Amino acid sequence: MMKYLVGLSLVAILSVACSGQSKEATVEATPAVTSLWSTDFVAASAKAKAEHKYMLLDFSGSDWCGWCIKLDKEVFSKKEFQDFAVKNLVLVMLDFPRRTPQPATVKAQNERLSRQYGVEGFPTVLILNPEGNLVEQTGYRAGGAAAYVAYLGSVLANDQKKALAPATK
């Protein structure tokens, strides 16, 4: 009887914890898709190559994923990140919404890219160099826009150093 009560209590506690998380995840779902963001990977790739900019791919669940919403709210929607992005990045939103309608072509593209890059969770943020090669994979990082911009700046700088370094024989 005691094991049954302990088990039942554990289930009740986990249910309350999980229900609180899902409520938080649905509060103010604000996708980062603005004029800075593209949903067309092919066009964004061409732009990145032509402008010699890195690409930031944001694999997101914009209307259900709590960490995705937090990343958008704390980083992507902030002026500091947007100013950095305009100078250095081509931004691509690869969204997997549950409630927001999405064109079939965008949905198919996002699923294909998710498989291609081995995305296993959300948010997944990939940085590609102007040639389209993967440089870094990350996701939500604590610290807000300033910390995220500093991190991205170091990723880009390190990749540029590698590109300039003479090949070893």
For residue range 75-118, list pLDDT tens digits in order: 999 999 999 999 999 999 999 999 999 999 999 999 999 999 99
Tell which residue, 15, 26, 28, 85, has the closest CA to residue 57: 85
| Section 64-77 average pLDDT | 98
What letter does residue 163 receive in the DSSP assignment? H
pTM of model > 0.85: no
Tell which residue, 41, 124, 56, 118, has the closest CA to residue 87: 56
Distance between CA atoms of residues 81 and 34, nearest Å: 13
Under 8 Å between Cβ of 73 and 140: no
pLDDT at 28: 42
Take residue 19 and report the two structure tokens written for it. Answer: 């229900």
CATH assignment of 36-162? 3.40.30.10
